[in-house]
Structure 1
Amino acid sequence: MRQEDNSSGKIVVIKVGTSSLVTGGRLDLEKVGTFCTTVLAGIESGMAPILVTSGAIAMGRTRHHALSATTPAASQAAAALGQGFLYSALRSHFAELGVETAQLLLTPSDLTDPERGDEIRPALELMHTLSVVPIVNENDVLGVRNNDVLAAVLSGYLRAGLLLLLTDVAGLYDQGRPLPGGQPRRIPEAVGGVAAIEAVASGPAGGSGTGGMLAKLSACWIATHAGVRTVIAHAADPSALLAAYQGDPVGTVFPPRPLSVDPPDLGRLWRAFRTPPRGAVVCGPLGVEAVERGRPVRRDCVTDVRGSFEAGDVVDIVGPDARVVARGGIRQAANSSSAPRSVLFNPSDYVQLLESSHVGD
């Protein structure tokens, strides 16, 4: 199973969602079998896959009735309990196919911190040399976040050739333009403005995961702004990986966006896109000019505040023409009464989104 080419184009980060591995809090053997054979086909085609798997929390909640609570502590404890069961089952299934795996628990900070990030890459490279497939999960005991976003940061960190988000739908569907009979249609390629694409996405569809389409789109923005082509596809389709890797029609494709800096600033991308926006600040012309010039955005540029958000939340910066011009982590809460010249966003906090509003067909 040894791959001979260690170039970044061979590296594929594959994230699989909770509902694509787990049913009723228990590992679904049929779903797991489909996933493992899909990955094996990728290996045999010369890919170097790195897997990011959800499902630990859902599995852990079944171990004790107290873990069904929605508190952060219950989720963290469920993750700690479920992770061992999830990895053990995946390890066993892959071993039956002759694939050796290794478990990694990471957070986005492990990859975006320059001091820590440089220590992870040699280990991943050695695993590749040994033909060991890494299975990564968010280290949720430190705080439950989102594996889609972790997979996106990881794909940018590795300069992967592809990020594949496997889920329980076949891609992004256009809710605004249904076909006759009221059926939405899948968008084959998502091109255009971030806000316009998000407008057609639905929220979480229920179940035991922590994702949902908007969270997946957040991951898409991180990956594509880091130069990584991204595809959302159905986990039940065993041909999805090969099709996505070869550029054949499958799911919804998110083309890479032009890099503003090379290598991409993953910390900045993570701060700007780690969650869907919690609100917006509307700026006058001076605020838009500050964004265009990559300067701090100050409170005296703001003409209106929308939504309820706290310091550190992801917030859109909107121009006077209602166009979203940037997104980032804001430094003050919505109800803050700070001085007019205080900084809301430093340049390292936001990413420009000076794009068209068209969503591609």
Structure 2
Amino acid sequence: MASQRLTVVIKLGTSSIVDEKTHEPILSNLTLIVETASKLHRDGHNVVLVSSGAVGVGLRRMDVEERPNYLPRIQALAAVGQCRLMSLWDGLFSHLRLPVAQILLTRNDIADRTQYINAQNTFAQLFDMGVIPIVNENDTLAVSEIKFGDNDTLSAITAAMVKADYLFLMTDVDCLYTANPRNNPDARPIEVVTDISSLEADVSSAGSSLGTGGMSTKIVAAKLGTSAGVTTIITKSSKPGNIHEIVKYLQQAQQGASVGQETGDIDHSSHLPTPPPLHTRFIPSETPIQSRSFWLLHGLKPRGTIYIDHGAYTALQKKAGLLPAGVVGVEGHFGQQEAVRLIVVEKISPDSLNGEFLHHGQEPKEVGRALVNYGSSEIIRIKGHRSTQIQSLLGYADSEYVALRENISFIRNDESPRH
């Protein structure tokens, strides 16, 4: 049986790339990562690296001892470090005759749907050319408004964008544990997670002094990845070879199960290969969110909030668009075709002032995101009214809907956007 061509995304934190104290590149680890990516590539798989480390490498290049707090200085160090970081990757991969490509992203780069699709097409073309994309956040330009926050989140969004089969989140422990194994001898490894919302694990790891992530951000990334149908795996960053072994094991296990089904063999254990190195595997959703819905929820930063009543929420669930009659209030300043949060509240009256309804009835609940057809000032004027009144209220009517149903995406119970 021929092996399936997979797409594997590998996220590497700063601590996997540069020494926390000296800021020197950890060449031994980088070499192992390159060898692992090469093996996966040789097996016919697509490989993407999401690489942190630009600021850390910049600190070393400029002989700066500690990461500064002044944002422009951090961004300047990132600009210096990104050149050296890509030079390192390119040099190491060139020994194995593998070309690499640099992709720097901010939320602004994927906020436009056309740009998001262009990014997907670029990745696809790089895969066809046998190139390994190396992705990082564009720290030189990014400010808090357009940052992903950490590369764990960026890696999950990248994995969804390229429709990856596996997302590997490399960390300083081999897997999740029920408690901190460093000080609790009763800590047990958690090898498979089928329901992240009921996960009981120790996530106290705060990440390195150079990095921005920790174990909690990896759980968030796992939620994003699995919601998009990506098997997400946590394993030890100092043993990159684990990645190839785990992928090979999962492929063989899947093929063994298929053979068992074809032959009617109820006992699949005879077809299973030797267990791989210890890791935590998050099982993807059986009903993964579609690409456009994922983009609406996680690719865009909401510019405001629209409060809707329960009747409107029920209608949206039945695939209807959002009508002005169901809008209770508006918060923030936003324009047409910008993203907003949707929050369900109890409706008092069409003339309620913004915010009044927050103190009545049920607790407000964010249920989704939407791209709106009207700006905030326009929606304030038409909220609570019939669509037939939009023309008389505004002097024009671009649409009968505040937001079309195709531009609305609901949040699942186990999934919360980071922003």
Give TM-score, length-normalised by structure 1: 0.72
Point out where structure 2 has 5 or more consecutive residues left out of the alignment. Answer: 251-274, 303-309, 334-339, 344-352, 359-363, 371-409
**Residues 214/354 of structure 1: CA separation in 2 closer, same or farther (3 Å cut):** closer
1:27 partnered with 2:30: no
- Name the amino acid aligned to 2:217: A
- Name the amino acid aligned to 1:258: E
1:99 partnered with 2:98: yes
Q: Distance in 2 between matches of 1:91 and 1:36?
A: 10
Alignment check: 8 A CA contact 1:17 1:167 kept: yes
Alignment check: 8 A CA contact 1:35 1:238 kept: yes
The answer for the alignment partner of 1:306 in structure 2 is none
Alignment of 1:227-242 (within 5 A): 227-242=229-244
118-127 or 64-73, larger mean C-alpha shift: 64-73
Alignment check: 8 A CA contact 2:123 2:162 kept: no
Alignment check: 8 A CA contact 1:25 1:58 kept: yes
**Residues 66/203 of structure 1: CA separation in 2 closer, same or farther (3 Å cut):** closer
Higher strand residue share: 1
Aligned-partner SS, 2:50? strand
Alignment check: 8 A CA contact 2:124 2:162 kept: no
- Name the amino acid aligned to 2:80: L
Report the alpha carbon displacement of residue 156 of structure 1 after superposing the two structures with TM.
0.6
Q: Distance in 1 between matches of 2:245 and 2:328?
A: 48
* Cα distance per residue 1:110-163 (max 9 Å; x no partner): 345312112223322222222111111111122253111111101111111111
Q: Distance in 1 between matches of 2:173 and 2:328?
A: 41
The answer for the alignment partner of 1:192 in structure 2 is 195
Give TM-score, length-normalised by structure 2: 0.63
Q: Distance in 2 between matches of 1:273 and 1:98?
A: 39
- Name the amino acid aligned to 2:18: V
The answer for the alignment partner of 1:257 in structure 2 is 285
Of 33, 37, 40, 2:38 maps to: 40
Aligned-partner SS, 1:348? strand
Report the alpha carbon displacement of residue 109 of structure 1 after superposing the two structures with TM.
4.3
The answer for the alignment partner of 1:61 in structure 2 is 59
- Name the amino acid aligned to 2:122: A
Q: Distance in 2 between matches of 1:298 and 1:214?
A: 35
**Residues 198/102 of structure 1: CA separation in 2 closer, same or farther (3 Å cut):** farther
Alignment check: 8 A CA contact 1:225 1:256 kept: yes
Aligned residues: 307
* Cα distance per residue 1:79-114 (max 9 Å; x no partner): 111111111011101111221111111124434531
Alignment of 1:161-180 (within 5 A): 161-175=165-179
Q: Distance in 2 between matches of 1:213 and 1:181?
A: 17
CA RMSD of aligned residues (A): 3.9
Point out where structure 1 has 5 or more consecutive residues left out of the alignment. Answer: 275-285, 301-310, 313-327, 332-336, 356-361
Aligned-partner SS, 1:164? strand
Q: Distance in 1 between matches of 2:190 and 2:183?
A: 16
The higher relative CO (CA closer than 8 Å, separation ≥ 6) is in: 1
The answer for the alignment partner of 1:154 in structure 2 is 158
1:348 partnered with 2:359: no
Identity across matched positions, percent? 27
- Name the amino acid aligned to 1:339: G
Report the alpha carbon displacement of residue 198 of structure 1 after superposing the two structures with TM.
6.7
**Residues 180/104 of structure 1: CA separation in 2 closer, same or farther (3 Å cut):** closer
Alignment check: 8 A CA contact 2:176 2:201 kept: no
* Cα distance per residue 1:311-344 (max 9 Å; x no partner): 89xxxxxxxxxxxxxxx9688xxxxx95233687
- Bigger radius of gyration: 2
* Cα distance per residue 1:214-259 (max 9 Å; x no partner): 1111111111111111101112224322233232544110111133
The answer for the alignment partner of 2:386 in structure 1 is none
